[in-house]
Amino acid sequence: MNTLNLSTPSPAGLRRPGSLAAVLALALTVLAPSQGLLRPLADGLLLLAALAALRPASGPVRGALSLGLIAAAAVALFLALPTPLQGGDGLRLLAILALAQCSVRQLAEQPDSRWSGPATAGLFGLWLLYLWELGVTVFEVPRVLLPAPSLIVQALWDNTATLGGDFVQTVLKSVLIGYLLGNGLGVLTGIAIDRAPFLQRGLQPVAALTSTVPLVGVAPIAVMWFGFYWPSKAAVIVLMTFFPALINTLAGLEAAGKLERELMHSYAAGYRRTLLWLRLPTALPHIFGALKVNATLSLIGAIVAEFFGSPTAGLGFRISTEAARMNMPLVWAAIVVAALTGSGLYALLSRLERRVNFWHPAFRSR
């Protein structure tokens, strides 16, 4: 190594044994007896792809070529998805594992570019899904324990209407209303309290205390007070999101520097103008931090509150009742919906933040 590469270890020493294992496993795969029409084709493609994964690809053309081969192998692997374990499949599994490891590592070693990061993560995710499917089918895991991804997709497809209803009940009614109320109240209270340092000093420890209180525990009380329908869930969410929003708003309003405040003062800007043009914009990164954390918190609040009692719809209701009925594919489908919602909310907020906070150093550098 002639350059100092300190942040990551040198890959050269690591690549050898992995490649060797891959080649061995592949040789064994090809030698192993195979049945069916698709098997030889799939094995051939597997071999090609593994070879592509083994060759250190540099430059965009070669990288694209090896990626293409890996994609072809993925198709082959999908076609060759085995039924329960047969003789010789153990070796094939080994080869597939080696291929997975090699291809991910190779993609990770590509120089940084716009697509290489997401591509690596994406490939890793795809491999994980594939190995999940493969493992579940090959080892005949009962679907109560762990349904295959294909079954989950099937359940998603079959129960679109049910899950859509759950989505409307949990996300559009409980989460959205609770989230807007909780964050709105938190931010407004923060701005109001900011004028009274006495109140601020008194409230801050109280608000900090609530961060260690398991606030989802109020769900049974909320259900008792506000009934089974969405208001009780929204109430839990308001309580859970209020304090993070409040604390972050207070911290954000403090973030404006002395110099800037004095500049505003020298312009004869009153409290309202200073707040509007200086302090609120500087507070926005903090407030967005709270908004992002609260997005996940509010989903959790709604789902857990539905464990305590709910109308016959809602993601939390679906998860708890279908888990009790051992209908695991549908439970996982509901979790997929919840996960997509959570990540979607987060992505939406990140995008909004970039739009609003374009001036902030964290975004300016891109």
Candidates 84-92, 272-280, 281-289, 319-327; binding stretch for other proteins (CB under 8 A): 319-327
The least distance separating other proteins from the CB of residue 46, rounded to whole angstroms, comes to: 20
The CA distance from 48 to 29, in Å, is 12
Does the protein bind other proteins through residue 154 (CB under 8 A)? no
Q: Using alpha carbons only, what angle is made at residue 310 by residues 329 and 211, rounded to the nearest 5 degrees?
A: 90
> In this structure, what is the dihedral angle of CA atoms 343, 345, 347, 353, given to the nearest 10 degrees?
-150
Does the protein bind other proteins through residue 11 (CB under 8 A)? yes
**Residue whose CB is less far from other proteins, 86 or 101:** 101
**Residue whose CB is less far from other proteins, 244 or 252:** 244
Does the protein bind other proteins through residue 3 (CB under 8 A)? no
Does the protein bind other proteins through residue 76 (CB under 8 A)? no
The least distance separating other proteins from the CB of residue 300, rounded to whole angstroms, comes to: 5
- Residue 301 three-state SS: helix
The least distance separating other proteins from the CB of residue 219, rounded to whole angstroms, comes to: 8
Where do the H-state alpha helices sit in the chain?
A: 12-31, 38-54, 60-79, 89-108, 116-138, 149-158, 160-167, 176-194, 197-210, 219-226, 230-253, 258-266, 271-274, 280-307, 315-324, 328-356, 361-364
**Residue whose CB is less far from other proteins, 195 or 265:** 195
The pair of three-digit structure tokens given for residue 140, joined into one six-digit string: 């005949």
The CA distance from 171 to 169, in Å, is 6
Q: Which of 1, 2, 3, 6 binds other proteins (CB under 8 A)?
A: 6
**Residue whose CB is less far from other proteins, 44 or 227:** 227
The pair of three-digit structure tokens given for residue 103, joined into one six-digit string: 């291809």
Count CA within 13 A, CB hemisphere, residue 185.
13
Does the protein bind other proteins through residue 311 (CB under 8 A)? no
Does the protein bind other proteins through residue 165 (CB under 8 A)? no
Q: Using alpha carbons only, what angle is made at residue 50 by residues 47 and 52, rounded to the nearest 5 degrees?
A: 110
Does the protein bind other proteins through residue 192 (CB under 8 A)? no
How far the first Cα of the chain sits from its last, in Å, is 30
Contact footprint for other proteins (CB under 8 A): 4, 6-9, 11, 104-105, 107-109, 116-118, 120-121, 123-125, 144-146, 198-203, 205-206, 209, 211-214, 216-218, 220-221, 223-225, 295-296, 299-300, 303-304, 307-308, 315-316, 319-320, 323-324, 326, 328, 331-332, 334-335, 338-339, 342-343, 345-346
